[in-house]
Each structure stands twice: as C-alpha cells, then as structure tokens.
Amino acid sequence: MKLPAILSGPIIRRVEPSSVYIWIALSSKVEIDAQIFQIESSSDEKYQYIPLRTHTEANTFKAGDNLYIYLLKISPDLSQFPPCTLLGYDLILKKGRQVRTLGSYNLLNPENPRSIVYGNLKYPSFTINHESESDNLLYGSCRKPHGHGDDALFAADVLVENNHLDLTERPNALFLMGDQIYADDVADPLLPIMTELGKDLVGNCERDKLNELIPENLIPRLDKVNGRQFLIEHLANFSTRKGDNHLISFGEYAAMYMFSWSPEVWDYIHEKELLLSFQQIKERDKLHLKMDCEKKRKKELSRQESRYEEQMDHVRDFVVSLSAARRLMANTPTYMIFDDHDLTDDWNISNKWTSAVRDSALGKHIIGNGLAAYWLFQGWGNEPENFDSEFLKQVKNFISSSNDSDGYMNGLNHLWDFHSWHFIAPTIPKTVFLDTRTQREFDPRPEGVKLGSVIEETTRTPLLISEAGWKDISQKLLQSGWKRKTPLNIVSPTPFYGMGLIESFLHKYVYPFKVLGFPVQTSFDFDGWKYNGKGFHAFISQVVSWDPSYSILLSGDVHFSSSVKSDVLFHSGEKQSFYQFTSSPIHNESFTGLWGVLMKSVLWLNARKRREQSLYRSCGESFVLALGKNDKKQDEQLLWEENINYISFEDGNIAETKNSIGYLKTEISSLENTLLMTVDYSESIE
C-alpha cells in the first residue's frame, strides 16, 4: 500500500504583489513548477485564463523517507502581479518522463467532492488587493479532531464558495492563530494511526532515538493507547493532564498535520486498516490500563471503552470537513502562528516549567520535534526569508542525526534558542503576528494567593513578550513598509482584551483551586496579558509608540468569541483605540459540564449590564490594573486609563462559546465582524 503522491496541500501561503508562495507535501521527490493565470470573465459566464510570465523557485526539504515538503516562490517576470483581480494557479510535477498537474489527481474537477476549485473555475484562485483596499480576513484558532461540535472551517469554505467571484466579499486571508493541532490531547483511536503513519512518512530510525531516551521497561507504553501519561509527566517533565496519547516523535507530529489537513491520507488510513475498533485494540494488546486491582481494572476498562467510542464518533464527524478545509487553504492566503497545544499544553508557562523540560532529555527532544514540525507545516510559509540556509541545515541535522551526534544536539539547541517566529503578514493593513510563547520574560518573585483563610505563594505569570522581543518586533514592522497614522492589525494568540466576565469568574472561582492543587480542568490558561500588569502596560505602550490610527487585535485561545472596543488615554496625552475581536474555538467546544453551566449563567446574568455601561480601568506606576474609578486621592501617578465597551452580537449576547471562525470586513468608516458557524452572528461598528 503506497502513500498518496500528494500528502497534503496545496496551501497558498504568503502573497504579495512581488511574490506568491505555495506549500505542498509529497511522498516522493519530483521537479516542480507553477503557473499563474489571470482570470477574466466574459458575458456568457465563461472565463479566460491568461498565463502570466513568471519564474518559480522550488525550495525542497526532505523530512523523511517518504516526506518531501516543497515551498514554491512564484515571482512575475515583469513588474508585479495584477491587483484586484482573480488569479488562478496550477502546479506541474515532473518525475522522469512523467508530467502531472493538479488535474492529474482529479483535484480540478468540479464534479469531484474533493475538488480544490470553487464553482466552475478551472483552477484554485486567490486575489491580491490594491493598497487602497482593505482585506477581508478569516481568523480563528483551536481545531481538535475529537473536539465537540461542527468544524467551523466548513462554514468558512461555504463563505468562499458563495463569494468566490465577488472580490468585495471574498476573504483575502486566513489567520490560524494557534492550536492548529493538539499534540498533548490526542484521541485514543488516533494514537495507533499517528504511530504507524509517522513511521510510513519518516521511517523507523526514530524508534532508535527513543530507545536511548526512555528506559527499556517503559518502551512498550509507546505503542499502547492510554500509555504515555507517565512518560510525559515524569520523564519529559510536561504538565499536561491529558498526555495519555501525547505525540512524541517527529513522525507523529507530521502525521497529525497530515491527518488534520488531508482527505487522501484518511483514505490511506482506511485502506491500510489503521483505524481500529476498541475490541481490536484489546485483542492486539494495544491498551494500557493503569490500575492493578482486578475490580478496578474492570471499571477502568469500561471507562476506556466509553471514551474510545465517544472519541471515535467525534473523529469520524471531523473527517467529513477535511476536503472543505483543504479547499479553503488552497484558495485563501494562509498565515499561522503557534500557541501551546501545537507543541504541548502549558508550553513555557513558567521559568520552572521551561527549565525542567529543557533539563529532561526526552522533554527537550519532544519540544524539538514539535518545533521542527511547526516550522515545516506552519512557520516556513509565513515569512520564508526569515529562515536562512543555516536554519534549514540545523533542522535537517536535528531530524536526521543520531542522538549522540553534534548535528543532533546543535540542531536541537538551535530550535530551542530560535526566537524569531513572529512576522509581519503583507495584508492591508499590515498584520503583526506575535509569538507569545518563546519571547517570554519570567519574574522570579513569588505572588501570594488567598482562598478563604488559606494563603499560599505561587509563581507570577510571565511577561508574554520581553523588552528585547518588542525591539525585534518593532524593527520588523518598520522594515515592512508600514506607515504611522495608518491602521494596524495585531494577532495575539491569547486575547489582549478578553471577556472580563469570563476571566473574572475563572480567576475568582477557578484559579485559587488550581493554585492549591485541585484538579480543576478548564480550557483557560492563566498566563494571559491581563494577569501581568507590567506586560499589559508594555503592550499598550509599544502600540502607542508605533502610532497607528487605530489597532485591530485578533485572537483565539480562550474557547469563546467576543468583541471589545477600548479607548486608552495616557497621562502624557497620547490616545489609542483598540478593537479586539476574538474567535475561538474552530473545533473544540469546551465549556461543558458543570463549569459550562456556571459560565453560561454568568454570561446570561451579566450580558445586559455589560451592554449598557462602559468599564473604566487604569494602570499606575506599580502596574496594577484597577477596575472602576476611585474618587479618593491616588497614592500613585496613573500611567494611563481606558474605557472598555463590549459589543454584542445580533442575538444580544456579548460572548459565544460554540465553534466559530471570525470574518472581518473593514470598510472606510466601519468594521463588520461576523462569526461563521451553524448560525451566523454578526455586529457592525460604525
């Protein structure tokens, strides 16, 4: 059984007037070229496809025995690509005397339900706006295969289908803002698939590496469902509570991307009979049970079977959306940034966590695998010139070298020490993508937390971006050609302005229990912007120094969607307006059970109150964010103050917890934000 020739893609990546990047993953090495067409319609509803004179630079990275990643740079021979017009593309794959195009794989046939074209177009298409026109943006995060609810990428695909010829409505870019995969929270039925598919893609050499990192008596756990939590927690020093099936090898990380993006890989999984029933898992001794007592083992087995079957149903539902997700990314310039789950839950949440994991040979290795896979599948296409030949060499050495070699260790350290994952997307207006995971700064001073009469000390939440990080970002923004006094988009995986109701509820009722060791499970991490006043102030101060006319903040992460407007006034007189749009999750509804009921109750009780009043907040020299006005004489000088307003959706709610993806249209005098889901919710800001 052979792997499909096209493993994943094509995905259209960074697009600007001078160049277009297209990403594709293949199972064998080929010569590859691209052709760009200008698409013009005629009165009889037919189209002309005018070939543009271009040249293609094909960048190839062999990531395994049967895994070749191609990033194609297509540049016009003369001038620039035409703006405000529909452009199509095709790929030409040559191997010996055999020449194939995307049509050879039936991807351009409108009758094929897995086609990557919209309507009756001959090719996948995209547009490049003129600098006088603002882009329409899709944005979202958190897509887990066994998540609850419908995959919102399907709704985004429908939007493009309905507007593929209307350039005023069609999205110009897709922002995936973190947790594109869940490396820690892997469904039981998927672990055997990831293990075998990873070997088919990369080869068997990785097991030799793991044999040196894991004690011999624990090696069998690698191949068993529910068997990895001990390895992840006690050998890798990770903190996730959902690490039973955690991805470990580079091949497994690569396999998860393939599974999440490729319907053909799903066919391969079926044909190779990698999707096993719970009964098959038991019969093949691929299930790990943690309890020793026979009575308790029976109960554990029953729970495992229920979980397995439930997750199997969710995975099957997810697979239905794979063709829509691929078509969307083949026709919409796509930019991606990681959050924690792309590597592991709580990634770099504290200095203690980072040090413990880096000191663990297994933990350090897993993070290296996650970063290498992130770069190949997500990061490379964001800003390709950010990754020079030395970077490619280091990643190659890490992947292909044995653990005891200098190449492996140098490559691993290079990935750990690389802090330039941030980038500027060439959208209109420009978009700053922040890396809030590897540019952090940690404060070693403890912080007191009180629950009733119990007082404990805990680690302070980090600055999500250090002073050095802000300098690097500022330099890159100014070099991008962005101009002061013009709008600016900023992508932060975690919201800068969250939903105060939800955050306050979690902070008041959930966080103290987590600090004191209670196993409280929520989807909310307490390392957001608002939990470090100094970092919050640094963010606002940095944006004010850039001096945009206004700032649009786009975020995900928190598993609810909301819209907020804030007007900030500095003591020195500077002003800045922020519009925060949050859309999350794409496919991972999380506020369920008791906490979900409590959350919805809080929202329902407070929605009217928040709609009818502004929130006042201020920050003084101690960097404490104070909510509400205080008429008494201030003990310290205020640095700034702000008025925050929540913007409600059409149904009156100010937050939505169902799966969604945001669609933002920017007009001359208004912003229109829509949540794409089973039922659309929208609001307009004049």
Look over the chain and give the mean of its residue pLDDT values, rounded to a whole number.
91
Q: Are residues 414 and 485 in the same domain?
A: no
Q: Are residues 410 and 435 in the same domain?
A: no
Q: Mind listing the pLDDT tens digit for each residue in 360-402?
A: 999 999 999 999 999 999 999 999 999 999 999 999 999 999 9
Q: Are residues 404 and 516 in the same domain?
A: no
Q: Mind listing the pLDDT tens digit for each residue in 198-237?
A: 999 999 889 999 999 999 999 999 999 999 999 999 999 9
Point out the domain boundary residue: 368, 399, 418: 418
Q: Does pLDDT of 442 surpass 70? A: yes
Q: Hey, what are 481's tokens?
A: 């050609």
Q: Mind listing the pLDDT tens digit for each residue in 494-540?
A: 999 876 655 555 555 555 555 555 544 444 555 689 889 999 999 99
Q: Are residues 408 and 473 in the same domain?
A: no
C-alpha distances in Å from residue 408, one per residue of 79, 337, 463, 498: 43, 25, 31, 41
- Give the SS3 label for residue 475: helix
Q: Are residues 592 and 468 in the same domain?
A: yes
Q: Mind listing the pLDDT tens digit for each residue in 309-340?
A: 999 999 999 999 999 999 999 999 999 999 99
In a domain, 526, yes or no: yes
The torsion of the CA quartet 485, 491, 496, 502, rounded to 10 degrees, works out to 140
Domain count, the chain: 2
Q: Mind listing the pLDDT tens digit for each residue in 153-185?
A: 999 999 999 999 999 999 999 999 999 999 999
In a domain, 405, yes or no: yes
Alpha helices in 141-262 (DSSP H): 152-162, 191-202, 205-213, 229-230, 250-261
Point out the domain boundary residue: 418, 438, 473: 418
Q: Which pLDDT value is given to residue 456?
A: 72
- How far is the C-alpha of 369 from the C-alpha of 246, rounded, in Å? 12
Q: Which pLDDT value is given to residue 591?
A: 72
Cis preceding-peptide flag for 429 (omega within 30 of 0) = yes
Q: Are residues 634 and 539 in the same domain?
A: yes
- Classify residue 287 by its DSSP letter: B
Q: Does pLDDT of 679 surpass 80? A: no
Q: Does pLDDT of 127 surpass 50? A: yes
Q: Are residues 441 and 577 in the same domain?
A: yes
- Residues of the chain with pLDDT > 70, as a percent, come to 88
C-alpha distances in Å from residue 60, one per residue of 26, 376, 389, 667: 10, 11, 12, 40
Q: Which pLDDT value is given to residue 377?
A: 99
Q: Does pLDDT of 600 surpass 70? A: no
Q: Which pLDDT value is given to residue 627?
A: 84
Q: Does pLDDT of 135 surpass 60? A: yes
Q: Which pLDDT value is given to residue 45?
A: 73
Residues paired with residue 99 on neighbouring β-strands, in sequence order: 94
- How far is the C-alpha of 661 from the C-alpha of 587, rounded, in Å? 9
Q: Which pLDDT value is given to residue 508?
A: 58
Q: Are residues 549 and 410 in the same domain?
A: no
- Give the model's confidence band at 283: pLDDT under 50 very low, under 70 low, under 90 confident, else very high: very high
Q: Mind listing the pLDDT tens digit for each residue in 82-101?
A: 999 999 999 999 999 999 99
In a domain, 533, yes or no: yes
Q: Which residue has the tokens 């029953």?
A: 302
* Chain-centroid distance, C-alpha 547: 28
Residues 108-123, mean pLDDT to the nearest whole number: 96
In a domain, 428, yes or no: yes
Residues 462-488, mean pLDDT to the nearest whole number: 96
In a domain, 648, yes or no: yes
- How far is the C-alpha of 92 from the C-alpha of 107, rounded, in Å? 13
In a domain, 450, yes or no: yes
Q: Are residues 564 and 638 in the same domain?
A: yes
Cis preceding-peptide flag for 585 (omega within 30 of 0) = yes
In a domain, 381, yes or no: no
Q: Which residues constitute the domain of residue 562? A: 423-659
In a domain, 554, yes or no: yes
Q: Mind listing the pLDDT tens digit for each residue in 238-272?
A: 999 999 999 999 999 999 999 999 999 999 999 99
Q: Are residues 395 and 435 in the same domain?
A: no
Nearest alpha-carbon partner for 421 in 436, 410, 440: 436
Residues 124-129, mean pLDDT to the nearest whole number: 96
The DSSP-derived string for 201-219 is HH-SHHHHHHHHHS-GGGG
Nearest alpha-carbon partner for 108 in 134, 128, 89, 126: 89
- Give the SS3 label for residue 432: strand
Q: Are residues 410 and 509 in the same domain?
A: no
Q: Are residues 468 and 395 in the same domain?
A: no
